[in-house]
Amino acid sequence: MAGEAQDDCLFCKIVGGHIPATIVRETETTVAFRDINPQAPTHVLVIPRVHYANAADLAAAEPAIAADVLREAKAVADDEKLDSHRVIFNTGAGAGQTVFHAHAHVLGGRGMHWPPG
C-alpha cells in the first residue's frame, strides 16, 4: 500500500536501517544520503520516509511531505555550500527512474547543461 514501507524497496531498506548509506541529513519525514553512482561532485538523494512510487504520487497524497523533500534539497545544497545546483525528480522508467520510491537528486559542484539529456 502506498505510504507504507515496501519489503522489496531499496530506499525503504535504507530508511529502515537495513542497508547502509552515507546519510548527510535526517528529519522526521526525510532522509538524505550520497548517491552510490554520483553524476556530479555533489550528488545527494533526498527521500521521504514514507513510500510512494514517484514524486507525483507523493505530492498528490502527502503534499506537506513533498514540500519537506524540497526544503531538505535546499538544506543539502546549503550544507554542501553549492553556489548553484539542480534538483531532479525522475518519474517513470522512461524518465530514468530506476528506484520506484519518490526521491529528489541534488546535483552540484560542476556546470550543468541544458537540455539535461
Catalytic machinery residues: 103
| Beta strand 23-26 pairing with 42-48 | unpaired
CB atoms near residue 65 (< 10 Å): 19
DSSP structure string for 1-49? -TTS--TT-HHHHHHTTSS---EEEE-SSEEEEE-SS-SSSEEEEEEES
Q: Are 9 and 101 in contact (CB under 8 A)?
A: yes
- All three cell numbers of 62, joined, read 502527502
Q: How many Å apart are CA 35 and CA 44, to the nearest integer? A: 5
